[in-house]
Amino acid sequence: MKTAYTNGIIYSGETIERNKAILVEDGFIKAIADKDNIPEGYTREDLGGLNIAPALIDIQIYGGNGKMFSHCLDIASLQNTYDYCMEGGAAHFMITMATNSIDNFLKGIEAVREYWDKGYKGLLGLHMEGPYLNPVKKGAHIEGYIKKAELGELEMLFDKGRGIIKMMTIAPELCSEEALAFLLKERILLSAGHSNADYRQGISGFDKGIPAATHLFNAMSPLQGREPGLVGAIYDHPSAMASIICDGVHVDFSSVRISKKIMKERLFFITDAVTEIKEGEYHHHYKGDRYTLENGTLSGSALNMMKGVQNAVRQVGIPPEEALKMSSTYPAKLLDGKSKLGKIAPGYQADLMVFNDQLEVVKMIVP
């Protein structure tokens, strides 16, 4: 099937195009063509002057629409999360499990496998946020499950979940050389987080091949004059990227603005979103603009990806085209290099988001 999307402002992930058409063939972008030079054989779809951009990407979300994946380890939970993501403009998501029992992680692996086997859309893989964290920076994670990574356990996890575990948040200061070498060999996306690393330990982890950090500022050693901490290492390293939660709760909007000035294209958005649940081991209570544990500890956001974009534009002062890149183009850079996401360009997947000038999602185009 060939479709030409016309009469829209195109945010391609590189430029802003007007008076052009997006040519889509069999689910992939064929070209961005002049609106008056559309080849024969294309069905035209008029966007009515709305905006169109690559679908957004959320690489850290725990559940949605009333289903927490770590509690409901099944296809229905993943489908609810996908639906929640789509409402906020994200056609792709990395389902995330906070620190848990190894048995539950194994069940999560099988649920992801089943979701894929049945042909459901949107799921990029499993993000294990733990259990290999620093208990000093546990945040809302269950300390009883936090542990140091051991090679035998890692080998078992990847024997069961190779190709499914796509991302892991670890505390680099507590990860042995042997464990880190194994994880890097597996070529998954490693992210430093829930970490009390000092500046030198942080820089060392990034130099050894950890490419990113998890939710900048939250659950990590802070930037201080005498000890720059993990935040300082993230700022100072030339290639380390970091996610940030742009809700004004996890991080003050001024801190987002300062970080953007320093990190530029190395900073990107996640939601870190949960949903209300009062069963199981993690209880998340909705407080209007956030979720907390029973003791008041901040435990997750109430964001969707497009709400993060709105906050970035309205509260931080980031231009819309850049806020969109921080929600699609930049996280896509961290994913498997073979993936063709996050841009409107020849050869890229035609997963697109149509939105109005108020930065509200009007519809999703997912072939």
Which residues belong to the active site?
272
Cβ atoms of residues 194 and 218 within 8 Å: no
How would you classify the pairing of strands 90-98 and 56-61? Answer: parallel
Distance CA 95, CA 173 (A): 25
What's the half-sphere exposure (Cβ side, CA atoms, 13 Å) at 301?
A: 23
Cis amide linkage into residue 131, ω under 30° from 0: yes
The single residue listed with the structure tokens 């690559």 is: 54
Query: What single-letter DSSP state applies at residue 221?
Result: P
Compute CA distances 257 → 81, 108, 334, whole Å: 29, 36, 22
What is d(CA 284, CA 136) in angstroms, rounded to the nearest whole number? 21
Q: Which two tokens stand for residue 68?
A: 């927490």
Q: Evaluate whether 113 touches 153 at the Cβ level (below 8 Å).
A: no
φ/ψ of 84, rounded to 5, equals: -60, -45
∠ CA 45-51-56, nearest 5°, is 105
Q: Which residue has the tokens 């004004």?
A: 248
Cα 128 from Cα 302, distance rounded (Å) = 20
For residue 186, the one-letter residue type is E
